[in-house]
Structure 1
Amino acid sequence: MKFKTHLIAAAALCAAAVSVQAQTVRIANQGDSLSMDPHSLNESLQLSVTGNVYEALVGRNKDLSVAPGLATSWKQTSPTVWRFELRKGVLFHDGTPFTADDVVFSFARTQVDGSDMKSYTNDFKEVRKINDHTVEIETKAPFPILPDVISLVYIMSKKWCETNQATRPVDRRKGVENAASFRANGTGPYRLRERQPNVRTTFIRNGAYWGKIDGNVQEVVFTPIGNDATRVAALLSGEIDVMEPVPVQDIDKVNGSANAKVLVAPELRTIFLGMDQKRDELLYSSVKGKNPFKDKRVRQAFYQAIDIEGIQKTVMRGASKPTALMVGPGINGFVADMNKRLPFDPEASKKLLADAGYPQGFEVTMNCPNDRYVNDARICQTVAANLARVGVKINLAAETKGTYFPKILRRDTSFYLLGWTPGTYDAHNALNALMACVDDKGAGQFNLGAYCNPEVDKLTRAIQSETDKPKRNKMIVDAFKAHADDVGHLPLHQQSLAWGVQKNVDLVQLADNFMPFKWISVKKSGA
């Protein structure tokens, strides 16, 4: 009998161990979230990670439609005023109650120097407190898509930020850090337990969370693994449970393994190249006294020198869709009929360069991340090789995103690669952030080459306030056409998502490449 009791006890211990193991998920990415500050960098990975700790007034459902978040409801009380009723009984992770004061503070925080979220709130006239659980947002002009726009503007605790000298966001351009870089105090379903930048970040389930957590995960261990082969090996060995991205060349290998699989789907992100079109003399170039990128013929020559079909076939192995637009399918305002690229034509490229006064080409530095997008460094290498064939010598500067983003966000670049997913899932976001003339309020905040066309600007402002959908969509077409006619940027492709997961893991793969921990479950061994 005693022996039997020991067996039962041992079995119980094993079951408990399996249960604990099943409630931990280990996630690896090729790069790290650069900060825990939700306003310091408008980058999908950082917003995805911090979005498990912090929340916005408006959230997203599994189909990316808007859902109540820290606001339970909202309505327009006039063409330029939105009223939001705030959720009651919500606590920040330190136990402080969430109120309207935190909302007013957080929106103001997005507009100060150092914030990377200005483009989401640049057209706000005032955010005001009506009472502890009601706020109004007044905009400078009618803004019918405002709830969609603020779904990535996360709310911070006013009291916590003041206590920890973190009332301003950390400035990624200057390398300045503060308490919000390494610590976090949100209202979200997970709490930050440990932060070791570029090594490991650990989150634990928030037992006092106001909402429903569908998954069973109690602990999330997030680890950056930059080397593709090491990351794949960790998945195949069971060392990690989820990885992103799976290199396109390893998808079949992972799918052929016993315990892991790859989830592949289209992503809303567009990968493109930008050029400095503002400086009178181009930096990091052999051309002195002028800026060749100010000449449309040069921009078009670069465009037509790029073999995008070759990139799709050899670099992306079919896991991309070449594009002529700065937004892709799935974004409101995308028009398939407009998505026709200029032809790949090196001879036409050479003639355009000669006509612009550069018959022998010229030399310029290209900035590129090597751990942010799918095969980003290889894409840049291929673009450099393409341009070499028409006489342009590219000095490729590929680096980790930790140093890459601060550099290009300072506009310390002549030619760069960037990816963009409109956080509103609407074309206005790309127009306002990427193509609008740069101002000090947030318009054109990621228009890092300072492209400027007053007609595009005028249309962008009109699109923001237009409520008639057919009329609005026609304006979007006109704005995209004007930008394309200018060759304002060089769109490349939409990349595909490829997440590697253990077969005992259930999660939701969103087209914006966000990964909510609250929708992840790990099945028990043998289940």
Structure 2
Amino acid sequence: MAEDLRIGTQLKLMTLDPHYADLNENNSLLSHIYERLVIQDAQLTPRPGLAVSWKRLSTTQWEFKLRDGVRFHDGSPFTAQDVIYSIKRIRDFLKPPSGGFQTYTQAIKSVTAPDPMTVVIETISDVPTLPLSLTSIFIMAHKAGDFATTQDINSGKQSFGTGPYTFQSWQSGEVLNLVRNDAYWGSAPAWSGVAFQVIENPAARVAALTTGDVDLADYIPARDVEGLEQRGLAVENTSAARSNFLQFDIGREMPPGVTDKSGNAIHNPFRDKRVRQALTMATDRAFLADKILLGYGTPAAQLFPPGLSGTSANLKVTPPDYDGAKALLAEAGFPDGFNVVLAGPAGRYPGDSESLQAIAQNWARIGVRAQPVVAPFSVFATQRSNGAFPVWYGGCSGEAVTFCLRAVLGSPNAESGAGSLNYGKYENQSFDAMLETAMSMEDGPDRNEAVARTTELAMADYPMLPLYHFHLIVGHGQKVGSYAVHPRGWTTAMQAVPSEE
């Protein structure tokens, strides 16, 4: 007989409206209630969801065949009208700041239904990755008249989808209660009920798991793993679909925080590829993963962990080569090194401030005297945006590696949105062109290969310094037999398999 599952989570649900804000916490928790036409597997590859298949009819038209026999929690059948309603609600009804999903619908010109179980989506231009965009859009039941307001949904009036669990109750910032959907179209939900308890403090989350107040807890700090295992609790982990890295100010001729050994301002050393390469060669990324993250991290040579769609198997992390790095610095005109401010947030990501200290020690061995400067993330982010630093710690995650490649390394372009996280103003027209070509291809092996080659081109220029992919760690008690940690950092009851005992 199925039991209830109690989850202690860092994820704080801000709304029951699945279209209101594109935040990991909302998308994770609301995936119990609502579903998407297309889903992503553990390798981030698009798979059938509420759509069983899709194909291109032309460069601007896609046909999606819908899954038959699916019903919403109120008993109404799922049809093409629900897809049309959901896309139009995001595109035409919700407005910023509540339109966080509009980036996925802005290329859609029209949505029509040739029959109740078929949807044809016409785009303004060629959008080969439309199915990937649809992995971010939850489908709501259509209603007559006006679109449902966020207020109505938060009140519980229309808080129903087609998912494996139905909405029971919600206290904002405290708890979300769900009940098994016995009429679910897919595999029978494993748990009779699910209670998400928001516990934002990591130590309190670990304590709740230890005392048995919750059956499962997410975002466990690496330092607590050994203690949990000693108490007979299980811990499972995977590399996050993201990377944390150092970015260099490449755009400015005289950035602040860089001087020679006498304290005199110097021209920007990071404009020279040899300097960027030398600093990469002098950074012990294995030490960061093994010692700073206590083994719950993977040294990074690119933006997503190897094995995920679009990553390169050829990019490897090599041990530090201090002599080679010193030779490169000397070749670039810095035989004695230089002084630099190394900035980052404190406590935003696992190992952030501690990594900066370790990197400073690495760089000292080649004559680069780095001064770590850390601040709360909000303060750091504002200062970074204002150009206060020459080198800084950053991070990126997304539904695909192409998102981070374009955001972090794409030449800044306000109109297209490229380079939105490219605070260092790196520009490489060959990379831009290769990425554009790769992104113009349909999802599949050829596109993944093209993205991997594009990544290799960029990394050969050392535009930033990938540090590590930290691991997402989940702990659970004996009620849970196993838990499949998802690289996107989602926490769901669907990933938890009950113990056979």
TM-score (norm 2): 0.77
Q: 1:214 aligns with which of 169, 186, 189?
A: 189
Partner of 2:244: 271
Q: How does 1:360-371 map to 2 (within 5 A)?
A: 360-363=338-341, 365-367=343-345, 370-371=347-348
Residue 329 (structure 1) aligned with residue 303 (structure 2): no
Amino acid at match of 1:249: R
Q: How does 1:310-329 map to 2 (within 5 A)?
A: 310-329=287-306
Q: Which runs of 5+ in 1 are unaligned?
A: 1-18, 167-177
Partner of 1:253: 227
Equivalent pair of 2:236/2:475 in contact (CA under 8 Å): yes
Q: Which runs of 5+ in 2 are unaligned?
A: none
In 2: Cα distance, 1:189 partner to 1:261 partner: 25
**Equivalenced residues, count:** 482
- 329 and 227 in structure 1: CA distance in 2 versus 1, 3 angstrom threshold: same
In 1: Cα distance, 2:201 partner to 2:175 partner: 15
Shift of 1:509: 0.8
Q: Percent identity?
A: 23
Equivalent pair of 1:411/1:449 in contact (CA under 8 Å): no
Shift of 1:53: 3.3
Equivalent pair of 2:42/2:486 in contact (CA under 8 Å): no
Amino acid at match of 1:154: F
Q: 2:134 aligns with which of 138, 150, 169?
A: 150
In 1: Cα distance, 2:253 partner to 2:101 partner: 29
Partner of 2:58: 78
Residue 196 (structure 1) aligned with residue 172 (structure 2): yes
- 65 and 332 in structure 1: CA distance in 2 versus 1, 3 angstrom threshold: closer
Residue 137 (structure 1) aligned with residue 110 (structure 2): no
Shift of 1:499: 1.4
Partner of 1:224: 199
Equivalent pair of 1:261/1:500 in contact (CA under 8 Å): yes
Equivalent pair of 1:295/1:356 in contact (CA under 8 Å): no
- 492 and 285 in structure 1: CA distance in 2 versus 1, 3 angstrom threshold: same
- 62 and 274 in structure 1: CA distance in 2 versus 1, 3 angstrom threshold: closer
In 1: Cα distance, 2:266 partner to 2:146 partner: 48
Partner of 1:504: 479
Amino acid at match of 2:301: A
Residue 379 (structure 1) aligned with residue 355 (structure 2): yes
Amino acid at match of 2:473: A
In 1: Cα distance, 2:154 partner to 2:330 partner: 47
Shift of 1:500: 0.6
Residue 309 (structure 1) aligned with residue 286 (structure 2): yes
Residue 516 (structure 1) aligned with residue 492 (structure 2): yes
Equivalent pair of 2:307/2:313 in contact (CA under 8 Å): no
In 2: Cα distance, 1:479 partner to 1:111 partner: 36
Shift of 1:522: 5.0
Equivalent pair of 1:277/1:449 in contact (CA under 8 Å): yes
In 1: Cα distance, 2:381 partner to 2:154 partner: 15
In 2: Cα distance, 1:271 partner to 1:54 partner: 31
- 409 and 185 in structure 1: CA distance in 2 versus 1, 3 angstrom threshold: farther
Q: Is the helix fraction higher in 1 or 2?
A: 1
In 2: Cα distance, 1:283 partner to 1:354 partner: 20
Q: 2:214 aligns with which of 221, 224, 240?
A: 240
In 2: Cα distance, 1:295 partner to 1:265 partner: 36
In 2: Cα distance, 1:293 partner to 1:179 partner: 52
Equivalent pair of 1:93/1:185 in contact (CA under 8 Å): no
Equivalent pair of 2:238/2:472 in contact (CA under 8 Å): yes
The superposition leaves residues 439-466 of structure 1 with CA deviations (integer Å, 9 ceiling, x where unpaired) of 4444444445453322222112211233
Equivalent pair of 1:297/1:352 in contact (CA under 8 Å): no
Amino acid at match of 2:172: Q
Shift of 1:71: 2.8
- 339 and 519 in structure 1: CA distance in 2 versus 1, 3 angstrom threshold: closer
Residue 104 (structure 1) aligned with residue 87 (structure 2): yes
Equivalent pair of 1:243/1:500 in contact (CA under 8 Å): yes
Name the stretch that deviates more: 59-68 or 178-187. Answer: 178-187
Shift of 1:163: 6.1
Equivalent pair of 1:505/1:522 in contact (CA under 8 Å): yes
Equivalent pair of 1:35/1:46 in contact (CA under 8 Å): yes
- 23 and 469 in structure 1: CA distance in 2 versus 1, 3 angstrom threshold: closer
Partner of 2:329: 351
Equivalent pair of 1:110/1:118 in contact (CA under 8 Å): no
- 502 and 44 in structure 1: CA distance in 2 versus 1, 3 angstrom threshold: same
Shift of 1:46: 4.3
- 457 and 432 in structure 1: CA distance in 2 versus 1, 3 angstrom threshold: same
Equivalent pair of 1:215/1:518 in contact (CA under 8 Å): yes
Equivalent pair of 2:247/2:464 in contact (CA under 8 Å): yes
Amino acid at match of 1:462: T
- SS of 2:234's partner is strand
In 1: Cα distance, 2:250 partner to 2:303 partner: 17
The superposition leaves residues 420-476 of structure 1 with CA deviations (integer Å, 9 ceiling, x where unpaired) of 45524xx43443344333444444444454533222221122112336977645533
Shift of 1:239: 1.6
Amino acid at match of 1:274: Q
- SS of 1:514's partner is coil
- 127 and 489 in structure 1: CA distance in 2 versus 1, 3 angstrom threshold: farther
Name the stretch that deviates more: 354-363 or 185-194. Answer: 354-363
In 2: Cα distance, 1:345 partner to 1:315 partner: 20
Partner of 1:435: 409
Shift of 1:361: 1.4
Equivalent pair of 1:242/1:502 in contact (CA under 8 Å): yes
Equivalent pair of 2:129/2:441 in contact (CA under 8 Å): no
- 515 and 302 in structure 1: CA distance in 2 versus 1, 3 angstrom threshold: same
